[in-house]
Chain A
Amino acid sequence: MPGSDAVMVRTTWREAMRAALREALQADPRVFLMGEDVGRYGGCYAVSRGLLEEFGPERIRDTPLSESAFVGAGIGAALNGMRPIVEVMTVNFSLLALDQIVNNAATLRHMSGGQFAIPLVIRMATGAGRQLAAQHSHSLEGWYAHVPGLKVLCPATLEDARGMLASALADPNPVILFEHVGLYNVEGTLRSDAGAVPIDRAAVRRAGTQLSLIAYGGMIPRALEAAEKLAAQGIDAEVIDLRVLRPLDAATLVASVRKTRRAVIVDEGWRSGSFAAEISARLAEEAFYDLDAPIARVCSAEVPIPYARHMEIAALPQVEAIVGAAREVVGTHA
């Protein structure tokens, strides 16, 4: 429980994540971090900077560029008494480890009749917005969320950046933690005693009455910005942060949409077969008769994310597009 002497401290999303890693390494000698350039380089996105000096090379392990080997080694180490945190530089690179994640981490417990648990955390950067083009910019969280046996977390806020890792490590299942590259530099204030947060439910980030903006990860700041713009136009939007894609907290979504009767889903993944499609289907199944308008989706354009700034912007869900979709579902567009 938060102590009464806690104060609000200024921090960045990256620093919150690093504080979570440091705390996990301090709290449990079984915890270690491994991945490409996590040690001497300080992490591709500088999340683990300084940890090698603090915890040493046994627990902050630089690996060869062998995603399948070191992700699989994380699975094996988790099976055998350790609490590994495996960092994969980006979700695009994680495709090289897909065999281990999907065929081993997700299956071993069920396929063995419940004999094993895999308390593994895999962290990876995801998303676009830094002009890194089509092999570093994709949002494939929805693919992972398709797979039973995995848990998929998408922290958006400073509190979640600080608190999801501890909960993921305490979970006896393989958990994938997606860190949107657009969030690392976000600044804000965080309670000095911030710690573990629940990883089984969505959160209402902004209460509203006229429509539900449903998003996660890197799209949360945009959804909130869109909600402010809509408020200025007299439209009261609720913002739901999914936080956890699997297992999905459908109850929170459905409750919100039953109240607002309209839904716009914002997802940086491609529209076809997207996680937004899953949310849309859930709402159609569970809240169809509560809806006053068709469900709308704002997703990335169906192209490999391009390098040029203007094209990258055009490919991604932007605030104006969210505002436009929201105005349409509340019927103020005409």
Chain B
Amino acid sequence: MRDDTRVEKPPRDGGAPVARRRAAGGWKAARWVRRAVQIAVLVLFVYLLFSALQRRSAFPYADLFFRFDPLAAFSTMLAARQWLPHLALAVVTVGAALVLGRVWCGWICPLGTLLGWFRFRAARPLAPRVPPRLRGVRYVLLGVIAVMAALGSLTLLVLDPIALLTRTFTTSLIPGFDYVVGAVESAMMDWGPASGAVTWVEDHFRGTVLPVYQPHYAQGVAIFLVFLAVVLLNVFADRFWCRYLCPLGALLGLVAKVQVLRPLIGDGCNACNACMRACRVGAITAAAAGAGGSGEAAGARARVVTSECTMCLDCLVACPEREAMGFGPALRPGPWAEYDPGRRQFLAAAAIGVGAVTLLGTSVARAVKSPGLIRPPGAQDEGAFLSRCLRCSECMKVCPTSGLQPSLGQGGLEALWTPVLASRLGYCDYACTACGHVCPSGAIPKLGLGDKREQVLGVAVIDRNRCLPWASNTPCIVCQEMCPIPDKAIVLSGQHLITRPDGTQDYLARPKVVAKRCIGCGICEYKCPVEGPAAIVVLPSNPSLAVGGAPGGSSSPEG
């Protein structure tokens, strides 16, 4: 598809207009294909996010992007010291990188696509002034992630781009979206003609596009600010994150050093540097002035650095010479740049990794089990869990009660943004196994409903100084009423009819926890009508409480 007819438009990037027209046509079409692929993949990514939004049964491919993510796969298998077949599709991504370089970054990665859309005018003059050595940062980050993973810690997977974007959607963008919809709906409900539309939207979209309940997440704002910072770094250079910081890009960049099919600049180059100016990631080194033509030395031409190139085709569209650029096979590894990882970066990564794991290991979270540290069902072995969890937040998003929250301090900094059950915000639904089914790495095991119901997350404990029937003789049985265990882990004792001062009557019965039956699902804490902190809370399971167990032996000493 040539567009020879369109002569009126002056080229943006300089170069000879006539020649450019002739050259660009085919690559332009290819670039449209790339853009279409990017949009389609982003749509798929968002669709998958919504396919696992507050559900008891999620779409089985909800974690598809993580399965193709080699950084997640490599570091998780390293930390867990186990081959995880579920993450094996990452081999496909690595294989693609061997042939086509960082095609993942330029065509697939949803974060890369989004960052490509946020372009700032300021970046044009600033980008050339960002020191190239900064590109080494991502290799150091990759090295630190690898060293820490080798020592069993996945803490820095918070920087995985897929996890970063998923977490941002889970904790801030989707809740924000629902909040806006809710606010608009409330405003419209008061105006008769619009209320029908609100009802229609609610009837058709609540539970699919719109979450069943307005989700609230701890640190949603902080997580959003991290995302915002990644976007705003584009002020200094287009796709700043992808150029300088992304550890997944670093991994694929290393593979791309031996990329087989490379963008090559050949003899036709007239050294106009149009390609270099067009490149969003600064992957093209400038041609020396006066270079070009067949007789010149190869080094003087513009050159594409494969470990930086995202295969976006912008340079090919920009090149005014029909024969100057193209793809060709190459078997020799690309040259090592000054910012590519060397001995110093390896040493730095090793030192930072070992130091981080050491310091995190001395965290107070390792000394005492934090009261807030209730893990999802089946993830009770804390060490094993931490060396499997991708910090991706899929479990938090799918949780139908939004009870799974990103942790901040509960498990120490080491466990940053791993899921904890915050029962006051949401409970572990007795009929739900969703978190284990969306977990990409198996950190939360896939359990059948029967097995899941036997997972003890913690144990409920009643605070008799705050519980209504205990503290103020006010009748209340909400916790017992909510307890989903068929035999009831909360029983009522001393049920008798009382007459209130105003002459009305109610039953007064006092709840007690039968610790050995309690699985710590937290619905009692969630539903407790006492304002503020609940009068019944789930604490990490405590075998010494479960010994007595009988209805008489409640979780607090006096009966």
A and B physically associate: no
A interface residues (Cβ-Cβ under 8 A, vs B): none
Residues in B lying within 8 Å of A, measured CB to CB? none
